[in-house]
C-alpha cells in the first residue's frame, strides 16, 4: 500500500457533518479509495448531499445511504472495493430500514451498468463528472428504478461548489485545479474513467484557497493529473500553471502551497523559477518517471526520454538545490527486460529520489497497452523487480533524510505523532515528516525544529526559537 492509499485508509468513513440526534435526518456513510483527487471529489459529494439534508455517520450499519468512491488504477484496488461492497450488501440485507448503496468514481465509470445488472452489488452508479445529479439519482433509486449517470463532461469542474472538508486534521486542504487527463499513457485507465482534461478558472481556485486559509488551513495541495498543463483562457488572458502559482503565492503569502502531479514532459523552467521565487511554495516536486529505459518509456507513451527526465532533474536542482523530488515507478511493464529494469535501478541511483511510490504493472482493460502489447512479465519477476527497487529506494530515502541532521527546519504542525501524544508530527517544505516533543505550540503553527536524528521515514528533533 502506498502512502496515498494509506491516507485513504485513514480517512475512510470519517464523519463530515455533526452527527444529529434527529432520527428523521438521513444518515450517510461515505468511504473513499485511491488518489487525493478522489478525496477532493468526496468533499464535493459531501457538500452536495449536505444541501439535501444528509448528516453523516462513521458507522456503515447506521447509514441510510452508503457511498463508496472508488479507484480503478490497478486490479488490486478494484478487488478491495468489491470486497467492501460485498460487506455493505450484507449490512443492507440485515438492516431493519431501507438502505441504498452507491458506487462513485473511477470504477463506476469503468464498469457502468455491470454493477447494476451482472453484479447487482449496488443501487446507484455515478461517474466522476455526474455528482450534481446525485440527489435526482437517489430519488430514482428510492423508487426502485435503476439509477446511473456515467456521462463524462468536457466542462464540469465543480468550481462553484464549496467542498465540505473531510480530512479531520484541519491544517492541509486538497484543492482540485483541473480534471481529467489527455495524455493517454498506455498503461493508464484514468483518461477513460476521468475523461478529457479541463482546467478550473483561477479566481475560483484562489477564492477556495483564501477561504481555506480563513478557516484555519495553513497548507493547500493543488491537484491535477498533470498540473503542468493547467491552462485557463480568459478573454485575451491565458493563465498557465506558473502564472497560477505566482498569483496564489503572492496573494496568500502565509499559506504553504504544494501541488501534484507534475509531468516530466510538460514541467517548465517557468514553474521552477516561480517556485524558487516564493518561500511559501514548498520545495517538493512529485515527478513520476515510471521507468528508466527509453524503450519502455516509448511503449508507455510517456512523451519523454530518460535523458529528458534527467535534464528536468538537473533544472530542478539548478533552480532549487534544496528541492526534494519523489517519483512513481512501475515494474514489469509489457516486454520489460532485465536490462530495462537495470536502467531503472541506475536512474534511481543517479537521481537519488527522496521518496518513491512503486507498483507492479497491472493490465487495465481498454488501455493502449492492453490492446497493443503482451503482459508477458511473470508475476514472480514483476514482484522480484519491485522488491529490488523498494529496497534500493529505502536506502536512498534514509540517506536523503540523514542530510537534514544538525540543520534547523521550518515545520508546519499537522497534529499528534501517531506513536506518542506528547509529540507533534509535522512536515518541512520538502515534505519530510518531522517528530518533536510538544511544548506550548498548537496544531497549524509553523515552528523551527533542530534535527538530531533520522530513520528511513522520519526526522526527529527539538524546537528552537
Ligand atoms: N499498473 C500499475 N501502476 C499503474 N499506475 C497507473 N496505472 C498503472 C497500472 N496499470 C501508477 C503510475 C502512476 C500512479 C498514479 O499509478 O505509476 O503514476
Ligand atoms: Fe494516467 Fe499518464 Fe494521465 Fe497520469 S498522465 S493520469 S499516468 S494517463
Q: Is the peptide bond before 77 cis (omega within 30 degrees of 0)?
A: no
Q: How far is the CA of 417 from the centre of ligand 2 (A)?
A: 33
| Nearest CA residue ID for atom 7, ligand 1 | 188
pLDDT, residue 22, reads 54
pLDDT at 278: 98
Rounded to the nearest whole angstrom, what is the distance from the C-alpha of residue 347 to the centroid of ligand 2?
Answer: 21
Which atom in ligand 2 lies closest to the alpha carbon of residue 226? 5
Residues having CB within 6 Å of any atom of ligand 1: 73-74, 187-188, 288, 290, 328, 330, 359, 361-362, 364
Rounded to the nearest angstrom, the distance between the alpha carbon of 189 and the centre of ligand 1 is: 9
Average pLDDT of the segment spanning 301-321 = 98
| Enclosing H/E stretch for 56 | strand 55-56
Q: Whose grid coordinates read 521550518?
A: 410
In this predicted structure, what is the pLDDT of residue 398? 98
Give the pLDDT band of residue 17 (cuts 50, 70, 90): very low
How much distance in Å is there from the Cα of 158 to the middle of ligand 1? 26
Mean pLDDT computed over every residue of the chain = 93
> From the alpha carbon of 187, which atom of ligand 1 is closest?
10
Grid coordinates of 175: 484543492
Atom of ligand 2 nearest to the CA of 184: 8
Task: Tell whether the model's pLDDT for residue 16 goes beyond 50.
Answer: no
**pLDDT in the model for residue 423:** 98
Q: Which residues pair with 126 in a beta bridge?
A: 104, 149
For 378-406, letters b (16+ CB in 10 Å) and e give eeebbeebbebbeebbeebbeebbeebee
pLDDT reported for residue 7 = 36
**Contact criterion met (CB below 8 Å) for 344 and 302:** no
Q: Which ligand is nearest to the CA of 358?
A: 1
Question: Within 6 Å (CB) of ligand 2, which residues are found?
Answer: 181, 183-185, 188, 190-191, 225-226, 263
Summarised one tens digit per residue, pLDDT across range 115-150 is 888 778 899 999 999 999 999 999 999 999 989 999
Protein residue with least CA distance to atom 2, ligand 2: 185
Amino acid at each position: 500500500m502506498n502512502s496515498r492509499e494509506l491516507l485513504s485508509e485513514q480517512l475512510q468513513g470519517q464523519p463530515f457533518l455533526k452527527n444529529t440526534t434527529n432520527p428523521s435526518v438521513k444518515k450517510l456513510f461515505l468511504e473513499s479509495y485511491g488518489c487525493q483527487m478522489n478525496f477532493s471529489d468526496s468533499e464535493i459529494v459531501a457538500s452536495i448531499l449536505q444541501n439535501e439534508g444528509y448528516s453523516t455517520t462513521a458507522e456503515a450499519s447506521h447509514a441510510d445511504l452508503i457511498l463508496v468512491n472508488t479507484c480503478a488504477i490497478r486490479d488490486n484496488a478494484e478487488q478491495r472495493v468489491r470486497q467492501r461492497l460485498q460487506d455493505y450488501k450484507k449490512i443492507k440485507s440485515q438492516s431493519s430500514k431501507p438502505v441504498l448503496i452507491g458506487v462513485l468514481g473511477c470504477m463506476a465509470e469503468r464498469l457502468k451498468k455491470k454493477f447494476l445488472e451482472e453484479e447487482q452489488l449496488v443501487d446507484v452508479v455515478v461517474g466522476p463528472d455526474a455528482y450534481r445529479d446525485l440527489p435526482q439519482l437517489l430519488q430514482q433509486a428510492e423508487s426502485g428504478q435503476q439509477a446511473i449517470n456515467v456521462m463524462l463532461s468536457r466542462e464540469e469542474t465543480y468550481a462553484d461548489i464549496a467542498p465540505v472538508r473531510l480530512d479531520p486534521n484541519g491544517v492541509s486542504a486538497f484543492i482540485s485545479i483541473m480534471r481529467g487527463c489527455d495524455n493517454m499513457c498506455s498503461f493508464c485507465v484514468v483518461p477513460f474513467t476521468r475523461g478529457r482534461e479541463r482546467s478550473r478558472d483561477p479566481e475560483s481556485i484562489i477564492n477556495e484557497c483564501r477561504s481555506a486559509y480563513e478557516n484555519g488551513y495553513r497548507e493547500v495541495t493543488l491537484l491535477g493529473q498533470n498540473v503542468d498543463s493547467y491552462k485557463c483562457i480568459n478573454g485575451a488572458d491565458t493563465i498557465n500553471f506558473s502564472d497560477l502559482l505566482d498569483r496564489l503565492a503572492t496573494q496568500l503569502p502565509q499559506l504553504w502551497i504544494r501541488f501534484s502531479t507534475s509531468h516530466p514532459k510538460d514541467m517548465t523552467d517557468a514553474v521552477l523559477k516561480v517556485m524558487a521565487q516564493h518561500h511559501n511554495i514548498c520545495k517538493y516536486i512529485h515527478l513520476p518517471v515510471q521507468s528508466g529505459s527509453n524503450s519502455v518509456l516509448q511503449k508507455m507513451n510517456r512523451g519523454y526520454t530518460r535523458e529528458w527526465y534527467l535534464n528536468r532533474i538537473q533544472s530542478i536542482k539548478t533552480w532549487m538545490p534544496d528541492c526534494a523530488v519523489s517519483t512513481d515507478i512501475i515494474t514489469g511493464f509489457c516486454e520489460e527486460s532485465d536490462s530495462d529494469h537495470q536502467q531503472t535501478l541506475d536512474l534511481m541511483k543517479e537521481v537519488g529520489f527522496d521518496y518513491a511510490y512503486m507498483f507492479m504493472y497491472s493490465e487495465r482493460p481498454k488501455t493502449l497497452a492492453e490492446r497493443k502489447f503482451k503482459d508477458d512479465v511473470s508475476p514472480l519477476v514483476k514482484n522480484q523487480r519491485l522488491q529490488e527497487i523498494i529496497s534500493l529506494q529505502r536506502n536512498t530515502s534514509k540517506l536523503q533524510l540523514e542530510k537534514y541532521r544538525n540543520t534547523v527546519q521550518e515545520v508546519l504542525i499537522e497534529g499528534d505523532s501517531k506513536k506518542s501524544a506528547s509529540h507533534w508530527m509535522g512536515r518541512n517544505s520538502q515534505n519530510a515528516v518531522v517528530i518533536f516533543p510538544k511544548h506550548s505550540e498548537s496544531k497549524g503553527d509553523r515552528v523551527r525544529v533542530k534535527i538530531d536524528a533520522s530513520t528511513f521515514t522520519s526526522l526527529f528533533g527539538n524546537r528552537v526559537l
